[in-house]
Structure 1
Amino acid sequence: MPGGRRTGQPSRNEPVTFTANEVEYDRDRALVTARGRVEAWQGDRILRADEFTYDRNTGVATVRGNVQVLEADGQVIFADSAVLSNNMRNAVVEGLRALLAQNGRMAAAGARRTDGTIFDLARVTYSSCNLCQDDPLAPPLWQLRARVATWDQTNRQVRYRDARVEFAGIPLLYTPYLQHPDGSAPRQSGFLSPTFGITRYLGGFLELPYYWAIDESQDLKVSPTISTRQVPNLGLEYRRRFNSGELQVAGSLGYNSGTDDGTESRGFVGHIFSRGRFSLDENWRTGFDFNRASSETYLRTWRYDARRVLSSSAFVEGFWGADGYARIDGRAYQGLSTTDDLSVTPYVLPNTYADYVMRDGIGGTFTIDTWNFAIFRDTGTDTRRASTRMTYELPFVEGVTGSAFTFRAQGDLAQYSYDKLNMAPNFVTGVAGSGTATQANIRMALDWRLPLVRSAGDWGSQMIEPRVQIVTGPNTGSQIRVPNEDSLDFEFTDANLFELNRFVGRDRQEGGTRIDAAMRGAWYFPNGGQVEALAGRSFRIAGDGGPFYTGSGLENRESDWVGRLRLSPVPWLTFLGRTRLDADTGERRFIDASATVTRGPTAVSAGYLFATAAPYLNPVRDREEVSLGVTQRIGQNWRVSASGRYDIGIQRPVSVAASAAYEDECFILEGRFVHRYAVDPTTNSEYASSTLLLIRLTLKTVGDFGFRAI
């Protein structure tokens, strides 16, 4: 059954070749008859039947018995019989069945094909569900039934009229018109499934997105949302791929009618999230991220990706294998919290970084880099910094005892110029004007480890590893007249116990001489499980160490104790905990613990977090939270889960969530509930859209339908 031209389809002008068990030609009637395992092909399309008759006078061909047509894209059409005309481009088909892409199945009592590509179908049934193995005649989980339908093979669409959706044979939904792709095309233009719901702010709403496949390299999704209480909102999402990169832009535009209490003003609102990445040559690439929004409330209200902070940047960077890297960029930030002071939000331009690594010829690894930036604020500190860092690392193993030694060295040099050091984020009193500062530091360390391993027979192997590191360098003092832009956030844990400079950035430098010590023990089981623990602390011998804040764990000569415990003796149990305890009293200062137990289809996870007040977090208070989550699989198709977080410090839940989902080869049903108890400090009430109820029903290959309430 040859048809019209499509990608991967034969041309109508290609010759038709066939084979059969026997061929009979009636000269008087100009009738060709082929019987027995008839197989004809034109290009990549194959026709099979029990009998094929062709009238050379009229050009009409008739095929009977087990008729099969195998398309080039993998789709298969079955029929009881068919009458072909107009050079086999038109057809009348009885008992049509079709296996479409993505497990789609279609059946019709009869069909008429015109122009080789359009099927007009009568009494149509469509589904992508597998039939019941025990009772193949039973109705599938869902199916579409329609009085008539049109299958457009050129545009790869199926359009139904007077259609109904049946579940287990019971009609539940009627629609006068329905259209969906036949599954053979990767992307097509058309309306996507709508989402509707109700919220306190929008009232009832309906989102009806339209997808436009512009060409092979770009597409656009337009998503208008209308509601009963607000002006319509328009969302857009554009994507394009180039030979050298890609571009993604998502945004929206709306109008805020304002509130009676004046917390929200009247006017146009919207957002834009964009990203671009482009290769310049084999070493260099460039890109940008531009993100802006009217407010976090706007993003939550209209169901866009809500974020607390939006960052924008433009950059050029180069890569030279694993040895060299360079980057220059500019950055801007937008805080969306109502408590954010936008006047102290920094602009970074330029920000440059480059490094080079030498691994051969010097006995170890030598790295040199430079990191320079200029930061501007409307009312806060303005900082310009030029800095460089050199590091050297040389590991070696002593052959008699097996001790592993590592020599490390690090040198930092930075030059600063600044304005308004007395303002955020530094708040240095008595310094109001401009100034300059130079900061240099050298750190050297010798790290010793002695891994002691022994066999435990059938129980695996055990290891004890003491580790001691001595670090020395000049005293760095308080560094109060050096602007602090990259070292505000600090947390002392086992992860940075052996770092030469335990501040996260370079604006704050650790000095003096100290000894770091830890004991690590592990038991490795034959089944791949393990139990591992570490405990350690740091002792300052000389110098004040640096400007560590009170409660950081490093403000005294003897640091707090830090520890880690990893417990996974069997595949179904995983526990990881980190802690920091007061050096004198053993009182907890930091605990971060999580555990997961998985037994068959059930998984339970729990977490606990405690952290003392840190001056760089707002509000400044102790944090203590617990969390619990449960996931359960029921059979092959069902999955349910529930989770929650509770803030012990303020005795209030943080969030609760629950979900249930069913999925098989043709159907998805999902329900989700989330409630967040966060309070807006400006109104002392919960944030807008703090509650979410989502119900999603998906008929695979047809579309999904969503209901959302917030």
Structure 2
Amino acid sequence: MIISIGYSCLETFANITKTVWLIKNHFLLVTQSFRVILRLVNPKIIASFLLIILLASAFQHLGAASRKVPPSPQPTLEADDITFDEKTRVSQLKGNAILRSSSFVLSADKILWNNEKSTAEAKGDAIFTGYDLRVLAKRIVIHFQTGEVMAENLKVGYYPWVLEAEKFDSEARDNQKSSARFRFSEVELFSRNKSQASPSLHMESMTLDGNSSKFIAKSIGVKLGDKTFFKIPNLRGNLNQSALDYNLRAGKRSSVGWYLGAKRTWAVREYSDFTLSALMFPERGIYFSPVLKGNQLPVTEEFYDYSVRMGGIVDYGDERGMDRLGEAIPRNRGLVDVNFIRRISERWRFAGQMFANTDSELYRDFQSDRFAHDQWRQNFGELSYEGPVYSISTLSQWQQNDYDSLIEQSPNLRIDAGPAPVFGTKFSHSLALEYAILKEKTSHGITGEESRKLDLGYKMQRPFSLPVGLRYVPSLAFRAQSFDLANQGNAKRQLGEWGNDLYIQLLGSYEVHNKIWEIERIDHISGFSLRHRRRTLMHQSNLSNIPLLDNPFADLNLSPIDLLEEIEADGLKPHEILRLEWTNRLIGSYQGANRELMSFNLFQDLWSNDRYENAKPHSYGEIDLSPAPWLTFSAQSKVDLDTGQSLRNSLTCRIRDGRINDLSVTYFKFDDFGEEWQVFLTRRLDSRKQIAMGVRFDEETSQVPYWMGEIKYRPKGDWTLGIAISQREGTAKEDELAIALNANLFSF
């Protein structure tokens, strides 16, 4: 009764969650889209304001320090000629005049220092140096007590940008730090490599609120030489929502024809950004795709990582074709893709994924670049709790799109506990409990086989210390499975397992000094273990009725031999096996920091009992090698020892030569899924030219399913030019030759 009620609640919660996701994220992304569209008019203006806020903040610190802390010592005065007027209490410095404080240096042809009012006025080639800035101006006036600053004909640089303005002044308010209003007039921003062909950004005036980071800019335009383009009367915004990326692209796809597109990214919060892209297909329409992403690194026990992708088009193509269900593709097409993980506290975690679309071909037609790397689709939600020695999780996985065949789990409740001591003894025990309702969904959304499964596992073990550092750990395990089947008799299965493990661990430390490899000492941790498992069938009923719904899709990694380690366990069978394991870790130390140089593990099934149907011994090995920060190598291999068939062979090697060269070589062969080599190279020819190339080669067919090449060139001035070409062959829809031409202009 309790399980039935819990299942009903979870099913209702899953349906409500799916609806809320769709409504909430659709509304959020539509809102963000309108905000971005309004800012698309000359959006590169935001980049120039970053320099302005840095300049304003530096001047503002002058007054903030005097308001918040006791007055600092009087500045020192230096000049070829210094005079003091008793009546006005003003010191006049002429010839190489310098006013030096603990925070900045002010130099000019002439400086007037009013000791009573704490003001300084610099005239004639005035230079302000401090707060990571160097400002040139004809005249600078600083009020130390209020923080007000005024400058005329100023120029300031922040690599690679230069800002010029006829006048700058600030107004402090309420004597609060970070609370001031800054005003600029006749502002021009340009690259330090300015030439006749280089554009510049011009503003008649701009007002900036230092507290809220809001700005108002008037009469904005992009100038090329003496001519002004893209004139905008005024613009309002917030510097905290700055632009990050801009991209223009063009090409042709075999399924949808020629296209021209643009993409733009904005930072909407500290850890989130919003991207809007539009692709215009003359034969089909305009495909809009807003994306909202956020990632707060797990520096604390609470963090999140999410992405919300949407796409849509009114498809005017005359031959849109049929989808995988054999139905005509509609004119109005759209999709939503949601991925998230949220650790609420040290114990709680919430994760999920949802992908829904109007037809099976939309993603392949208009986002084939992502489809090539993102084809496995799941729709699920999971809430889990991690205790000191136990964990509880509830999961719901459903078929969102009828053409995606899968096994629905609604719900899947699981509890794992242990190993934990038994009443303070040297014995330890573990428990695994799972309840799941499984349904097979075909590629047409039809429900096939169904089962309700209750799975209970229990294990007890005790370690014994032997001479010469050996440890012996015997164990006993029991597992009972009960299947409630919809269309046939219920089934049960009970298995018992006897285990014996023999361990030894070896430690070593070696002094090795090598500056090139950045190593001073190497610690070696090596372990050997001999593991025996004998699993027998204790009781069964109607075993042939059990549908293999919860079963591994492919077994490419190390196969488990422990009874409780079998997670997808509808196909549990008796077996007896003896496995040898050898593990190694090399840890290097350099200047007090540690890093893993190598991890090498080898697993060999020495013997298996042929009396059991499940006697399939394997050999598995893996290595991760990082002898230096610029060199990494990893490889994995799995072999069926009975047939000699290679189930998995993969390796990856990457070599980096600073910012000059980056080479990666990859080889992979998975069962019967093909055998391919992949090579990618990036090389910086000089400070202005860079090339990139890549190729993928299928060794079985001797074909090249993918290749690419790219050249980037930065001529004198501010331009960056590029051309990229790629081709993909051998797929159902993604065969295409893509050519892209790029012309980027630093912040414009």
TM-score by length of 2: 0.66
Is the Cα–Cα contact under 8 Å of residues 369 and 388 in structure 1 kept in the other structure? yes
Which has the larger displacement, 176-185 or 231-240? 176-185
Distance in 2, Cα, partners of 1:567 & 1:211: 37
Per-residue CA deviations over 1:98-124 (Å, capped at 9, x if unaligned) read 134xx35324384466986332337x4
- After superposition, the CA RMSD in angstroms is 5.6
The one-letter code matched in structure 1 to 2:161 is: R
Distance in 1, Cα, partners of 2:456 & 2:610: 26
Structure 1 counterpart of 2:607: 539
Structure 1 counterpart of 2:37: none
Provide the secondary structure at the position in 1 that maps to 2:609: strand
Decide which of 585, 589, 608 is 2:646's aligned counterpart.
589
Distance in 2, Cα, partners of 1:3 & 1:465: 56
Alignment pair present for 1:675 and 2:727: yes
Is the Cα–Cα contact under 8 Å of residues 320 and 329 in structure 2 kept in the other structure? no
Distance in 2, Cα, partners of 1:206 & 1:500: 54
Alignment pair present for 1:118 and 2:183: yes
Which has the larger displacement, 245-254 or 525-534? 525-534
The one-letter code matched in structure 2 to 1:117 is: F
Alignment pair present for 1:77 and 2:131: no
Alignment of 1:194-233 (within 5 A): 195-200=248-253, 201=256, 203-207=258-262, 209=264, 211=266, 213=268, 222-233=276-287
Provide the secondary structure at the position in 2 that maps to 1:351: strand
The one-letter code matched in structure 1 to 2:283 is: R
Is the Cα–Cα contact under 8 Å of residues 470 and 515 in structure 1 kept in the other structure? yes
Go from structure 1 to structure 2 and tell me whether the alpha carbon gap of 1:624 and 1:113 turns closer, same or farther (over 3 Å shift). same
Alignment of 1:434-583 (within 5 A): 434-449=488-503, 468-475=530-537, 479-491=543-555, 495-496=558-559, 499-500=562-563, 505-517=568-580, 534=602, 536-541=604-609, 543-546=611-614, 554=615, 559=617, 562-564=619-621, 566=623, 574=633, 576-580=635-639, 582-583=641-642
Go from structure 1 to structure 2 and tell me whether the alpha carbon gap of 1:440 and 1:301 turns closer, same or farther (over 3 Å shift). same
Structure 2 counterpart of 1:427: none
Structure 2 counterpart of 1:618: none
Is the Cα–Cα contact under 8 Å of residues 271 and 292 in structure 1 kept in the other structure? yes
Decide which of 485, 493, 499 is 1:418's aligned counterpart.
485
Go from structure 1 to structure 2 and tell me whether the alpha carbon gap of 1:562 and 1:662 turns closer, same or farther (over 3 Å shift). farther
Is the Cα–Cα contact under 8 Å of residues 360 and 403 in structure 2 kept in the other structure? no
Structure 1 counterpart of 2:330: 266
The one-letter code matched in structure 2 to 1:398 is: L
Distance in 1, Cα, partners of 2:510 & 2:164: 70
The CA deviation at 1:75 is 5.1
Distance in 1, Cα, partners of 2:348 & 2:560: 36
The CA deviation at 1:370 is 1.6
Is the Cα–Cα contact under 8 Å of residues 353 and 369 in structure 1 kept in the other structure? yes
Give unmatched runs, 5+ long, in structure 2: 1-51, 172-180, 297-301, 323-327, 514-521, 591-595
Per-residue CA deviations over 1:120-166 (Å, capped at 9, x if unaligned) read 337x4522x6xxxxxxxx7699964467665554446888535239x
Go from structure 1 to structure 2 and tell me whether the alpha carbon gap of 1:7 and 1:224 turns closer, same or farther (over 3 Å shift). farther
Distance in 1, Cα, partners of 2:215 & 2:529: 67
Structure 2 counterpart of 1:623: 674
Alignment of 1:25-424 (within 5 A): 25=85, 32=90, 34-35=92-93, 36-38=97-99, 51-53=110-112, 63-68=122-127, 76-82=134-140, 93-94=152-153, 96-100=154-158, 103-108=159-164, 110-111=166-167, 117-121=182-186, 124=188, 126-127=190-191, 144-145=199-200, 150=205, 152-154=207-209, 155=214, 161-164=221-224, 175-177=229-231, 185-188=239-242, 193=246, 195-200=248-253, 201=256, 203-207=258-262, 209=264, 211=266, 213=268, 222-238=276-292, 248-260=307-319, 262-263=321-322, 265-275=329-339, 283-286=347-350, 288-295=352-359, 297-303=361-367, 305-306=370-371, 307-321=374-388, 323-334=389-400, 341-342=403-404, 344-360=405-421, 361-363=424-426, 365-376=428-439, 377=441, 378-400=446-468, 402-419=469-486
The one-letter code matched in structure 2 to 1:126 is: F
Distance in 2, Cα, partners of 1:192 & 1:464: 48
Is the Cα–Cα contact under 8 Å of residues 488 and 545 in structure 2 kept in the other structure? no
Number of residues of Structure 1 aligned to a counterpart in Structure 2: 624
Provide the secondary structure at the position in 1 that maps to 2:536: coil
Provide the secondary structure at the position in 2 that maps to 1:509: coil
Distance in 1, Cα, partners of 2:535 & 2:714: 61
Go from structure 1 to structure 2 and tell me whether the alpha carbon gap of 1:289 and 1:498 turns closer, same or farther (over 3 Å shift). closer
Distance in 1, Cα, partners of 2:738 & 2:694: 14
The CA deviation at 1:641 is 4.0
Provide the secondary structure at the position in 1 that maps to 2:707: strand
Distance in 1, Cα, partners of 2:59 & 2:359: 49
Provide the secondary structure at the position in 2 that maps to 1:265: coil
The CA deviation at 1:249 is 3.2
The CA deviation at 1:350 is 1.3
Distance in 2, Cα, partners of 1:489 & 1:697: 46
Is the Cα–Cα contact under 8 Å of residues 61 and 147 in structure 2 kept in the other structure? no
Per-residue CA deviations over 1:287-328 (Å, capped at 9, x if unaligned) read 54332233564234434843323323333322224x222122
Per-residue CA deviations over 1:544-580 (Å, capped at 9, x if unaligned) read 244xxxxxxx45xxx3x52537596976684635241
Provide the secondary structure at the position in 1 that maps to 2:544: coil
TM-score by length of 1: 0.69
Is the Cα–Cα contact under 8 Å of residues 501 and 510 in structure 1 kept in the other structure? no
Distance in 2, Cα, partners of 1:409 & 1:269: 57
Is the Cα–Cα contact under 8 Å of residues 312 and 332 in structure 1 kept in the other structure? yes
Is the Cα–Cα contact under 8 Å of residues 566 and 577 in structure 1 kept in the other structure? yes
Is the Cα–Cα contact under 8 Å of residues 619 and 639 in structure 2 kept in the other structure? yes
Distance in 2, Cα, partners of 1:359 & 1:544: 32
Distance in 2, Cα, partners of 1:273 & 1:331: 15
Which has the larger displacement, 385-394 or 521-530? 521-530
Distance in 2, Cα, partners of 1:317 & 1:147: 55
Is the Cα–Cα contact under 8 Å of residues 250 and 739 in structure 2 kept in the other structure? no
Go from structure 1 to structure 2 and tell me whether the alpha carbon gap of 1:279 and 1:261 turns closer, same or farther (over 3 Å shift). closer
The CA deviation at 1:64 is 0.9
Distance in 1, Cα, partners of 2:375 & 2:727: 18
Is the Cα–Cα contact under 8 Å of residues 432 and 458 in structure 2 kept in the other structure? yes
Is the Cα–Cα contact under 8 Å of residues 249 and 742 in structure 2 kept in the other structure? no
